[in-house]
Amino acid sequence: MPQPLPARPLHRRWLIGQAERLVGFHRASLGGPAGFRMLGQDGQPLHGADEVFQIHDSTRMVHVLSLATQLGIPGLADGIDQGMRFLWSHHRDARRGGYVWGVTADGPARDDKLAYGHAFVLLAAASALRVGHPQAQTLLDDVSEVIEARFWDAEHGAMREEFRADWSGTGPYRGQNSNMHMTEALMAAFEATGARSYLDKALSIADLIVNRTARAQGWRVAEHFDSTWQVDLAYEGDPMFRPAGITPGHALEWARLLVQLHDLSGQAHGWMIEAAKGLFAEATAHGWDTARGGFIYTLGWDNAPLQSLRLWWPNAEAIGAAATLWKHDGDALALDWYAKVWDVVAGHFIDHTHGGWFPELDDKNRPTGAIFAGKPDIYHAFQACIVPLLPPGTHISGDLTAVTL
């Protein structure tokens, strides 16, 4: 019987080679006078001195550089320093507390404070703490205090969504996406510190979003809620960042995170594996573009495509979920999908000439820039390369020195 693809030595060397190429490509983001620069298709910076640096870009780069440093890729300490300084000196609101969404080298460009952004500050701090960055504990303590005081809604066991700069509220909307990424960050903080309060919050969010709500929706992840956490099936917000309907990529992302949460909580919550498998099966059954390959962006509640765009990140998350489920118990469905998705990613999303991944494909499987300028992100792609290399029971926020080829 052939050896499973994630276990084959040559495939594992290919994965770490792809991870190294991603780091090499995105090194051009580092070293500027302010935050991490956005890169064009050719790997050159896109913007000049007026560039707006968004908090999820700043934090994700710190996170990935810290992961790469753990793995043993040298020469990234200056980049981690750059990101940590910029988060503290520019994104942090020193007067009113919290972290603003978008800044230039000269000050805030968009000063609202989102749970989504604070989740990634927590993730960056936890990852930097793992590699011993001297400012990581200060950043982690500060953002943890803000999350507890401003975003955590103990009554419902999840995060409030957003505030203005002065901490006045902006409405009743509650979002799944910010809470999913907060779960990711809370688990990283738990692994970095051992503080049980982080894990307890992650367990509460997962129970609300997945065990109660996604289960009731046939293992489909509802994205949009009101202030009492009732699902808003008719919600139509920003078509890119708060789209209507279902986002299969988020179900795939939750599938991976639930296995991680199951392991970190002592495998005490059997529903998490049931849910991970249910989410994965539902997303693969309806989210895959059978004609062109790749996962599409959004579906309606009738499972018909709403936005048939094929972006890089749902496919990266599918790889991570498939590898994680296969490592957990040898899941044959997940193993088949692992190979299937990598074929599409390696054939169409990876830029084998310049490096990096193309963020979107047109209807003929050609790279396009309809939504994203250049190559905006290393986070999803890098994790897709690393998650399959991790030993069973070890996850992306754990001890990456355990990775072997």
Residue 134 is predicted with a pLDDT of 98
DSSP structure string for 265-289: TTT--THHHHHHHHHHHHHHHHHB-
Residue 203 is predicted with a pLDDT of 98
- Return the residue matching tokens 């789209």: 243
Residue 231 is predicted with a pLDDT of 97
* Structure confidence at residue 32 as a pLDDT band (50, 70, 90): confident
Output the six-digit token pair for 15: 């994965």
Residue 8 is predicted with a pLDDT of 97
How many alpha carbons fall within 13 Å on the CB side of residue 39? 28
* Structure confidence at residue 170 as a pLDDT band (50, 70, 90): confident
Residue 370 is predicted with a pLDDT of 84
Output the six-digit token pair for 199: 């894990």
Residue 87 is predicted with a pLDDT of 98
Residue 304 is predicted with a pLDDT of 97
Mean local confidence (pLDDT), 131-157? 98
29 and 44 Cβ atoms separated by less than 8 Å: no
**Torsion 249-255-261-264 (CA) sign:** negative
Long-range contacts of 31-36 (CB under 8 A, 24+ apart): 31/78, 31/79, 31/82, 33/105, 34/86, 34/90, 34/104, 34/105, 35/82, 35/83, 35/86, 35/90, 35/103, 35/105, 36/61, 36/79, 36/82, 36/83, 36/86
Residue 404 is predicted with a pLDDT of 85
Whether residue 252 has pLDDT greater than 90: yes
Q: Is 250 a catalytic residue?
A: yes
Whether residue 240 has pLDDT greater than 90: no
> In this predicted model, what pLDDT tens digit does every residue of 262-282 receive, in sequence order?
999 999 898 999 999 999 999
> In this predicted model, what pLDDT tens digit does every residue of 35-54 receive, in sequence order?
999 999 999 999 887 899 99
Q: Which amino acid type is present at position 248?
A: P
Q: Among 181, 250, 286, 348, which one carries the catalytic annotation? A: 250
Q: Is 47 a catalytic residue?
A: no
- Return the residue matching tokens 């007026």: 50
Residue 402 is predicted with a pLDDT of 78
Q: Is the pTM of this model over 0.85?
A: yes
Domains and CATH numbers, the chain: 29-153 (no CATH), 173-368+376-387 (1.50.10.10)
Q: Among 118, 133, 262, 380, which one carries the catalytic annotation? A: 380
* Structure confidence at residue 180 as a pLDDT band (50, 70, 90): very high
